[in-house]
Amino acid sequence: MQTTSEITPFTNEPFVDFSVEENAAAFREALAKAEKSFPVVGRLWIDGEDREGGAGTFESYDPSMPSRVVANCAKASREDALAAIAGAHKAFGDWSRKSAEERAEYLFKAARTMRLRKHEFSAQMVYEVGKSWAEADGDTAEAIDFLEFYAREALRYARKQPITPIAGEENEMIYIPLGVGVVIPPWNFPLAILVGMTAAALVTGNTVVLKPASDSPGIATMFLDLMKEVGLPGGVLQFCPGAGSEVGNTLVEHPLTRFISFTGSAEVGKGIYEKAGKTGEGQMWLKRVVAEMGGKDFMFIDEDADIEKAVVGTHAAAFGFQGQKCSACSRLILHEKIHDAFMEKFLPLVEATTIGHPAEQGNFLAAMINQAARDKALAGIEAAKKEGNHLVAGGEVVAGEGWFLQPTVFTGVGRNDTIWKEELFAPVLAVHKVASFEEGVEAANDTMFGLTGAYYSSNEEKLEIAKRELHCGNLYLNRKCTGALVGVHPFGGFNLSGTDSKAGGRDYLLLFLQAKSISRAK
């Protein structure tokens, strides 16, 4: 076990440079190995034992080649969920009494092992959720960062806390874990967010029932296998994939559940928040909900911005990973003085976007996660047409197998229009023209969400005003609104974007702890 003096300061995991042929060759080898291994077989893990699911099995598919089954996973029943909660509750006593150093070491071990096999994890995401090489590598790097960062943060919270001294007493404040937590991660960052939510809860002394997303059980199983390998005690992490309506609701509503950590849509998140607010029979606490619920994010390009830089940033933020990021730019606000010049440079870049299976290194845009997701995007595109928005790029499916959709751009979008208001979670961008900085700020804030945003300008006075007036949890100046780094950009949003959890920040672990003040008379 590492001692505190041996632990180096946190630094972010570097991204792989795939322009180096040695790195590209290694990744192609990992892709080939992954393809030969399909389907990945996932089973429940309850009380330290693999189990078949009481509700049968389900499969995940390659979005760019849906005929390919990527994973076959056991499907939990309500009874399985009840067993998982009971087992996690039983395991809590011993796990919560372990030192922060002991718990952190499991995360450090997992980070070291994942770093050695990072291409294997990334390759799985290329096939299972349609990430490009760079997007998949970034996901794995972020997962490693979460393990490293939260392990160090747990040690910080375990240290002696500053208390104002007073004569005649010895006082201290300690942080203790909550109990059993339910972790419900999304499919779009199926490793990074899953690892971050789970690791934060575990390292603070809680036990976890993990219900992975139904579109990405394969990568979740790989993480589970990693935690088995590093020796995590049985019962501390329960793996319970299954339907949200059956398993998810059972876990959220159970009186032994102490907290729910969720990332997903606003609709589902609000439902969890409502269910968690009810106190079941025998429940003696109010459940905490840590929720990140998506966004309708903006990039505002002002009249004095660097257009070349803004064009590249907008393309990456709007269409990276098919726009399937809660931080993706779906609302582009252009000052009228640079609107035409911007679009003249931007549209050729959109048209040149390479589309195809993400296993091919040169492809930027892959398929959307499933048919339902693409159908929702197409419905939004049709609504935009009916409302008089101008389709200037894309808007069509791509022929052949896979749930491909062209990168799509609409201009002339009004603030009451469908694609301005609704989160499509797709490569669809709404462009809105404004006549002033003030109007741009008003348009940026015109949303029920408040996750990320970006403002481009060379005017220092307006940049300072933007810091105060643009209302979102993560605001970026003169750079794109995606690409938050652990420790650098604590992540979480306002309003219906969630509880502003600030994942990857110094406040995050506090969400899984409670403070206990202890006084002793001298």
- Quick check: 406 pLDDT over 60? yes
Q: Catalytic residue among 326, 329, 472, 481, which?
A: 326
pLDDT at residue 41, as a whole number: 98
Alpha-carbon distance 508 to 522, whole Å?
A: 35
Stated as kind and residue range, the H or E segment containing 169 is strand 169-177
* Of 206, 208, 231, nearest in space to 220 by CA: 208
pLDDT at residue 50, as a whole number: 97
Report pLDDT digits (tens) over 185-234: 999 999 999 999 999 999 999 999 999 999 999 999 999 999 999 999 99
Percentage of the chain modeled with pLDDT above 90: 98
User: Encoding tokens for residue 229?
Assistant: 């390998």
Q: Note the residue count of the chain.
A: 522
Beta bridge partners of 482: none
Decide which of 3 and 304 is more confident. 304
- Do residues 348 and 393 lie in contact, with contact meaning Cβ atoms separated by under 8 Å? no
353: buried, middle or exposed (CB in 10 Å: 19+, 13-18, 0-12)? Answer: middle
Considering the four listed CATH numbers 3.40.309.10, 3.40.50.300, 3.40.50.1970, 3.10.310.10, the one that applies to the domain covering 297-485 is: 3.40.309.10
The DSSP symbol for 435 reads S
Q: Is residue 481 among the annotated active site residues?
A: no
The DSSP symbol for 280 reads -
**DSSP-assigned letters across all residues of 214-250:** TT-HHHHHHHHHHHHHTTPPTTTEEE----IIIIIHH
Mean per-residue pLDDT for 118-137? 98
pLDDT at residue 400, as a whole number: 87
Q: Catalytic residue among 135, 148, 292, 423, which?
A: 292
pLDDT at residue 360, as a whole number: 98
Considering the chain, what is the average pLDDT of its residues?
Answer: 97
Q: Is residue 326 among the annotated active site residues?
A: yes
Alpha-carbon distance 374 to 371, whole Å?
A: 5
Give the Cβ contact number of residue 383 at 10 Å. Answer: 15
Mean per-residue pLDDT for 273-277? 97
Report pLDDT digits (tens) over 257-267: 999 999 999 99
pLDDT at residue 519, as a whole number: 98
495: amino acid identity, one letter: N
Give the Cβ contact number of residue 130 at 10 Å. Answer: 30
pLDDT at residue 1, as a whole number: 55
Report pLDDT digits (tens) over 459-483: 999 999 999 999 999 999 999 999 9
* Confidence band, pLDDT 50/70/90 cuts, at residue 3: low
Percentage of the chain modeled with pLDDT above 70: 99
Q: What counts of helices (H) and strands (E) characterise the chain?
A: 15, 19
* Of 387, 403, 385, 386, nearest in space to 395 by CA: 385
What are the CA-CA distances from residue 30 to residues 34, 51, 217, 474 (Å)?
A: 6, 29, 19, 34
- Do residues 470 and 498 lie in contact, with contact meaning Cβ atoms separated by under 8 Å? no
Q: Angle 100-116/133-158 helices, nearest 10 degrees?
A: 160
- Do residues 221 and 121 lie in contact, with contact meaning Cβ atoms separated by under 8 Å? no
* Confidence band, pLDDT 50/70/90 cuts, at residue 2: low
- What is the pTM (predicted TM-score) of this model? 0.97
Mean per-residue pLDDT for 409-422? 97
Mean per-residue pLDDT for 135-155? 98
Alpha-carbon distance 409 to 392, whole Å?
A: 6
Report pLDDT digits (tens) over 355-371: 999 999 999 999 999 99
pLDDT at residue 6, as a whole number: 80
Mean per-residue pLDDT for 120-142? 98
Alpha-carbon distance 275 to 182, whole Å?
A: 13
- Do residues 509 and 200 lie in contact, with contact meaning Cβ atoms separated by under 8 Å? yes
List the alpha helices (DSSP H) in 57-99. Answer: 78-97
Which residue has tokens 């499969």? Answer: 59
Alpha-carbon distance 228 to 231, whole Å?
A: 5
List the alpha helices (DSSP H) in 159-216. Answer: 192-203
Report pLDDT digits (tens) over 320-351: 999 999 999 999 999 999 999 999 999 999 99
Beta bridge partners of 60: 71
- Quick check: 305 pLDDT over 60? yes
Domain boundaries, the chain: 23-293+500-521, 297-485
Going 215 to 151 to 162 to 502, the CA torsion angle's sign is negative
Beta bridge partners of 239: 45, 210
Going 66 to 69 to 70 to 72, the CA torsion angle's sign is positive
What are the b/e assignments for 297-306, b being 16+ CB within 10 Å? bbbbbbbebe
For the domain spanning 23-293+500-521, the CATH number is 3.40.605.10
